[in-house]
Amino acid sequence: MQPVAHLVKVSLPNYLTNLPVPDSFGGWFRLGFRDWLALVPPTAALAGFTYVTYRAFCPHGRPQPSGTVNQKILKDNPKVVDTIDIEDISEKAVFCRCWKTKNWPYCDGSHGAHNKETGDNVGPLVVKKK
Which is catalytic among the residues 75, 79, 92, 116? 79
- DSSP H helix total and E strand total for the chain: 4, 2
Q: Which residues of 45-74 are buried (b: 16+ CB within 10 A; e: fewer)?
A: eeeeeeeeeeeeeeeeeeeeeeeeeeeebe
Kindly tell me if the per-residue pLDDT of 63 is higher than 80: no
pLDDT at 15: 85
Is 79 among the catalytic positions? yes
- Mean pLDDT for the stretch of residues 18-46: 92
pLDDT bracket for residue 46 (50, 70, 90): very high
Name the helix (H) or strand (E) containing 5.
helix 2-6
pLDDT at 124: 93
Distance CA 127, CA 111 (A): 17
Express each pLDDT in 84-126 by its tens digit.
888 778 888 899 999 889 988 999 999 998 888 888 899 999 9
pLDDT at 129: 79
Higher-pLDDT residue of 106, 7: 106
- Mean pLDDT for the stretch of residues 6-18: 85
Kindly tell me if the per-residue pLDDT of 4 is higher than 90: no
